Structure formats: C-alpha cells, structure tokens
Amino acid sequence: EVQLVESGGGLVQPGGSLRLSCAASGFTFSSYVMHWVRQAPGKGLEYVSAITSNGGSTYYANSVKGRFIISRDNSKNTLYLQMGSLRPEDMAVYYCARLTGDLDYWGQGTLVTVSS
C-alpha cells in the first residue's frame, strides 16, 4: 500500500524557517518524481515544488523561488522541503504527492502556520 506521511509543520514567526519531511512507503521511491502542493485555509490547491527521481532537477513556483529548497534522500525514502523567509501568505497545509498523471497519491498533509 502506498503511503506518504508528512511531518514537520507547526507555528513559525514571519521570517522564520521550517523543514518539512515526507516519508514514503509501498512503492519504489527512487523511481518517481515527487511534488509538494499546498492549500491555504479555504483556498484551492497551489503547486509548490517538484524534484526528479535522482534529485538532479528541481522546480519551484515563483511564489517560493529563492526561499524554499526541495530535496530527497532515496536511501531513506524521504522527501524534504526546507522553507525559509516565511511569510504569512505561506500559511497552508502542505501535501507531499506522487503525481504521475496515472496512479497518483497524496499524503495527509502538515499544517504550517506563520504568525507572530
């Protein structure tokens, strides 16, 4: 059974940093591009970042470029999102997802609250 379990969310002050993790199981993690998608309270889905299967290429939405870093450790089947210079508008539930366009899976999400 495919499982994606996010962790690392919490309350952080504006300008602060946070690292999210996503533990994957039930599939060959190292074979898949992985993604982060976020959802602000009461809003729709916003694509944040992606990383290729070997970590060699990354993509960032303009809204997070230069502040967030996506990475992965295939030996630990884990995806990461290092978030810095956090702003109130970054407050959202962050989902880790496998989005092949074929058989896609989403984690339960982790809530990031940015507030003083």
Partner 1 sequence: DIVMTQTPLSSPVTLGQPASISCRSSQSLVHSDGNTYLSWLQQRPGQPPRLLIYKISNRFSGVPDRFSGGGAGTDFTLKISRVEAEDVGVYYCMQATQFPRTFGQGTKVEIK
Quote the least distance from Cβ 75 to partner 1, whole Å: 25
Q: Is 45 in the site for partner 1 (CB under 8 A)?
A: yes
CB contact at 8 A, 81 and 19: yes
Kindly write down the DSSP assignment for every residue of 3-30, as one continuous string. Answer: EEEEE--EEE-TT--EEEEEEEESS-GG
Told to check if 59 binds partner 1 by CB under 8 A, we report: yes
Verify binding: residue 27, partner 1, rule CB under 8 A: no
Residue selected from 47, 63, 77, 84 as contacting partner 1 according to rule CB under 8 A: 47
Q: Of the candidates 22, 29, 34, 107, which one interacts with partner 1 according to CB under 8 A?
A: 107
Kindly tell me the sign of the dihedral angle through the C-alpha atoms of 91, 97, 102, 103.
negative
Residue 56 makes contact with partner 1 by CB under 8 A: no
Q: Is the CB of 27 or the CB of 106 nearer to partner 1?
A: 106
Q: How far is the CB of 104 from partner 1 (least distance, A)?
A: 5
Secondary structure class of 89 (helix, strand, coil): helix
Amino acid in position 105 = Y
Q: Could you tell me which residues come within 8 angstroms of residue 82 by beta carbon, excluding any fewer than 6 positions away?
A: 17, 19, 68, 69, 70, 71
- List interacting residues with partner 1 (CB under 8 A): 35, 37, 44-47, 50, 59, 61, 93, 95, 99-109
